[in-house]
Amino acid sequence: MKKLFFTAAMLVVCVVANAKVWRVNYDQSESADFKTLQDATGSAKFNVGDTIYVEPGIHRGSEDGNSASKNCTIIGPGWGFQSSTNTLLDVESAIFLNSIRLNADSVSIQGVVCNGSYLYVNNSTVHVYIERCKASLYIGPKVSDLVIRNNYLKGLFFNSGPVSGVIEGNIIIGAFSLSYPDVRLVIDHNTICVDNYGVDYCTSLKTIVTNNILINSNNSNFFREEAFTGQYPISHNVVSLKASTVAEDESKYANFVSQNTIGATPENTFTRTIDTGITDDAMYYQVKAGAAAKTADANGGECGAFGGEHPYQLHGRPAGVPYLYDINVPKHTTNNSLSISFKVAGSNE
């Protein structure tokens, strides 16, 4: 299946973007071009703007080996499950055992898994795009024009420094930390269900928080009085706050409380069930029928990662890259020719 996916991905990238495509696989028996990301982007043959296809399998390179040091596009096969008309098919992922470091401007990364490690965006980078990855994400200071979209994040951490960009359509669990005042973000249509941190350490954030599901499972407040001002609204979210502090919060967070729905819990918001044989954690965070989040966003639609303009996709496959999901190769030739048929699906299905 990896060869089939590579063929489709390479065709789209080469024809549409007219960029060189390089294959990266830590298992050199697969005859890839490079063993690690650093081998690729550090090579004299690699040009700014080239594309790396990270093949399925286990990538054991060190953190230095998993560094992208040039402007590039990194595409993995995705993760989790993708739905087709009749079946659910497992995705063979590219799994990194050590952290990935994005050290250059204008780096795009999609469809990779950091297993027990971090995806780092290093200091003073611009135009960084992270989509449909599974990782813990750490953002360094002075990062601008950042897009974090449709990822499953086991923690999102911003270092003590200014940052700007958009966070939308993500599922974020575990920890969520904004720890510096000069954070200029739009946080829209995310499902954030954490057990610590929040933005309680911040003051005067220049950030818009809208159309999200915000649940702190340790039953503490997500926000503090000094974190936001009326110029940067916290609106149309479905939020959990301790019942005993709602009255107090009403006076402190007038803008916050008046435009949001209070009282969300995992039990009354998410389906919390998984179909037989399916083990994709993201399925837990689909909004159940009748939950407040179904109709609470600014346009009367669904709050959280599965709503909005860029809804979360369970399959985790890279956006805009078709894949081959079925192929039929006959055993015998007919008239000295071999008629091969195959089916291609779009990554947004």
Cα angle 102, 310, 184; round to 5:
55
Contact assessment for residue 179 and residue 159, using Cβ atoms and an 8 Å cutoff = yes
Contact assessment for residue 272 and residue 175, using Cβ atoms and an 8 Å cutoff = no
pLDDT for res 19 = 73
CA distance 110 to 210: 25
Cα 215–chain centre separation: 19
CB neighbour list of residue 3: distance below 8 Å, 6 or more residues apart: none
Cβ of 245: how many Cβ atoms within 10 Å? 13
Q: What are the Cα distances from residue 213, in Å, to 208, 239, 265, 283?
A: 14, 6, 10, 15
Over residues 51-108, the pLDDT tens digits come to 999 999 999 988 888 999 999 999 999 887 544 443 445 568 899 999 999 999 999 9
Among 5-19, 65-79, 121-135, 327-341, which is the least confidently predicted range?
A: 5-19
Straight-line distance from the first to the last Cα atom of the chain, in angstroms, rounded to the nearest whole number:
18
pLDDT for res 235 = 81
pTM: 0.84
For the record, the structure tokens of 164 come out as 């700007």
Q: Side chain identity at 122, as an amino acid letter?
A: N
pLDDT for res 79 = 82
For the record, the structure tokens of 316 come out as 């985790």
User: Can you tell me the mean pLDDT for 171-194?
Assistant: 85
Provide the pLDDT confidence category of residue 255 given band limits of 50, 70 and 90: very low
CB neighbour list of residue 335: distance below 8 Å, 6 or more residues apart: none
pLDDT for res 82 = 47
Reply yes or no on whether the pLDDT at 270 is more than 80.
yes
Average pLDDT of the residues of the chain? 79
User: Can you tell me the mean pLDDT for 109-132?
Assistant: 93
